[in-house]
Every structure is written in C-alpha cells, then in structure tokens.
A = this chain, B = another copy of it.
Amino acid sequence: MKEVPNKCDCKECDVREMFYEHVEEQHIEFVCVTKIEKVFKKGDVIIEAGKPIENFIYLKSGLVKLYKHDENGKGQIIMIAKPFDFVNLLSVFSDTNYNYSVTALEDSVTCNLDLDHIKNMIRTNGEFALSIMKKISKVSDTIILESLTVRKKNIHGRVAYILLFFADNIYEDKYFELPLNRREIAEFIGKTTENVIRTLSEFRKDGIIKIFGKFIEIIDKEKLQQISDFG
C-alpha cells in the first residue's frame, strides 16, 4: 500500500454526487485537504479485524472483499465491494474496532476520510446525515436480504447465483475473470471448495459455461438464471 499525494480533486470525484450534494463548499474543501488516498495491490490487506476504526473509507477503484476468519482459520466472505461502495460500512458508527477484515481482490484505490470529521459533518449538516444514513441503510439491507436469498438455495443455485452476480453486478459481461479462487467462492456461498469445483465442472459439462482457469464465459445465461432462481 502507498499513499498518493493529495491532488485535491474532490470536485471531480464520483462519490461527491452520492452524498456531498448537501455539504457546503468550505466543508468539501476541508475534506478534500484532509482526505488520504491509498493504493493497494491485489491481495493487500486494507483493513485488519481488531484494529480501531479511525477512518471512513470508500472504494474509488478496484474490488475488495469483506470477510471474517473464525478460530480455525476458516474464512467467511460477507460481501464484495465495488467502486463507490463504502468499504467499512459495518460497525463504522456503532463500534470502535473492526470485527471483519478487508482485502483487495484487484488493484484498488481507497479514499480515507477522518471519521471524526465525518461525524462532525453529520452533527452539523442534517441533509448530509440523512443521505449517508440512506446509503448505509441500503447496503446493510442488501447484505441481509441477499444472505436470506442465498440461504434458500442448494449448491447449484448458489454457484449459479454467484456467477450471475459477477457477470451482472460487477463486470457487466458474460466473459470475466473470477476475482475469487474456488475456496473463496466457497467461503462466500457457505459450501465446501470441492463442491464448488464440482458444480462448476457440471455447468461446464452441461454447456452452461466455459472455464479457462479463472476466466469464465457464460454460454447459456437463461439456464444459469433458472438454476439460480429455482436451485
């Protein structure tokens, strides 16, 4: 990870649209000056569980995973965050230390804002408070409701779901490179690595997808959708 010289280009930053609408110029200026951009290589740890929460972090580019490790070292992926998602959504206003970790799945850039300053902005600017609440509420909701959706599915349904998630939500392409290895997919959907691999092989044998190592091409998207919906 390395810090990038502050270019103070907040006005062009996409995140601005999301919640800076209601913030006065002088505050944006301050955020702009105090913000820190950090560049991470694929595989770098962005947040380590247990560390104190001191920043408000959003993802400017790249892709990251939020996950927990249990005592036995087995991981569980909570969500995948893409650009302009908040990376430290959970706990940021309700806890002092992280209870999950974040790692870069692709080369990523985060924008780190001082949490105390954000809190002050919330205190002094109600519209800002409301819009940030809306955003946070939305992401938590999504995590909760999608975990219920996935919970109902068998392994075929879950693997199909995850493939469509990457194709539709992340890459918007039928052909993409999986940012997770098979073990991580298993940690995401709550099944074993072997069965994830087996299921992918079956999809391949059935002509639903093509597999080139980490690259996936979805051949029969309709079928995959059916498996996801009814599996």
Contacts from A to B (Cβ < 8 Å): 68, 70, 74, 76, 78, 90-95, 99-100, 119, 122-127, 129-130, 132-138, 140-141, 143-145, 147-148, 151-152, 190
Contacts and interface: CB of A to CB of B under 8 A. Distances in A.
A70 B129 contact: no
A152 to B, nearest CB: 7
Contacts of A125: 126
B127 A123 contact: yes
B123 A129 contact: yes
A98 to B, nearest CB: 11
A99 B149 CA distance: 13
Contacts of A100: 145
Contact of A130 (B90, B123, B134): B123
A70 B130 contact: no
Contacts of A143: 140, 144
9 contacts: A68-B145, A68-B148, A78-B148, A90-B145, A93-B133, A93-B134, A94-B134, A129-B129, A151-B151
A90 B122 contact: no
B122 A133 contact: yes
Given A147-B147, A148-B68, A152-B76, A94 B141 contact: yes
A141 B144 CA distance: 10
Given A123-B127, A127-B123, A133-B129, A152 B90 contact: no
10 closest A-B pairs by beta carbon, nearest first, are: A123-B126, A140-B140, A129-B129, A94-B137, A94-B138, A93-B137, A93-B133, A94-B134, A93-B134, A76-B148
Contact of A90 (B78, B99, B132, B144): B144
Given A122-B133, A130-B129, A137-B93, A144 B147 contact: yes
A70 B119 CA distance: 39
Nearest to A22: B123
A155 to B, nearest CB: 14
B91 A151 contact: no
Contacts of A76: 148, 151-152
A140 B151 contact: no
